[in-house]
Structure 1
Amino acid sequence: MSIINVKTSEILDAYVMKAYISRELVYKKSYFKTIFFINVKFLLIKQIRK
């Protein structure tokens, strides 16, 4: 009984960690995308003003 419980809790922990990591990666990706687009817009504005 206790062995099965340990096994399932380990699997749940791994699943939670995986979900958390993938969520972090998604946030990081969108964060970098946002920074990238802000930089591109800034460069375009600078080009137009020249």
Structure 2
Amino acid sequence: MPAKKKGLYANIHAKQERIAHGSGEHMRKPGAPGAPGKEDFEKAAKTAKPKKDAH
């Protein structure tokens, strides 16, 4: 059984962590080739898990 792919926000968070630790990478500007578009964020929102309350 293949492993489940990580989502858009997990990939963004992972890249931000790498950048913070000095990887030399940079985030793409909105609209740049290869950058996630509006449709990608809308699709990710449909599959997002609901937040758990910390009560």
Q: Shorter-normalised TM-score: what interval?
A: 0.3 to 0.5
Compare the two structures and name the one with the higher helix fraction. 1
More relative contact order, 1 or 2 (CA 8 Å, 6+ apart): 2
Larger of the two Rg values belongs to structure: 1
**TM-score, length-normalised on structure 2?**
0.29
Give me the TM-score of the superposition, normalised by structure 1. 0.32
